[in-house]
Amino acid sequence: MDCKTCKESRAVVPYIVHESAMARQERTIKRLWIALLVSICLWAATVGGVIYYEAQFVDESVWQEVDTGEGDAYVAGIGDVNYGESQTEGNAPNP
């Protein structure tokens, strides 16, 4: 390909069209930065709110000795159920 045919096949964009497209892109980029900063602030506020909400509760452990005799102990309620050896004062974990 020679330079003469290359120059003839190029489309010429007027300067004013190029400038208006660049101005539109600059406005779009500015809006995207603002949207990014707002979303980061909202994310930080959400994380802070969750941490504040969770800090209102106190985790407590309750240990109860159960004398089962020959049978099994059944505890109904909310909490963790541990199956296995029963825990006595000697091997109960510290709360």
pLDDT tens-digit series, residues 27-83: 999 999 999 999 999 999 999 999 999 998 887 777 766 665 666 656 565 556 555
CA distances to 2, 4, 69, 74, 75 from 81, in Å: 84, 85, 19, 10, 8
Question: What pLDDT is attached to residue 39?
Answer: 98
Question: What pLDDT is attached to residue 72?
Answer: 61
pLDDT above 80: residue 9: no
Please, what is the end-to-end C-alpha distance for the chain in angstroms? 84
Residue 92 near residue 63, CB atoms below 8 Å: yes
Question: What pLDDT is attached to residue 60?
Answer: 74
Question: What pLDDT is attached to residue 86?
Answer: 54
Residue 64 near residue 89, CB atoms below 8 Å: no
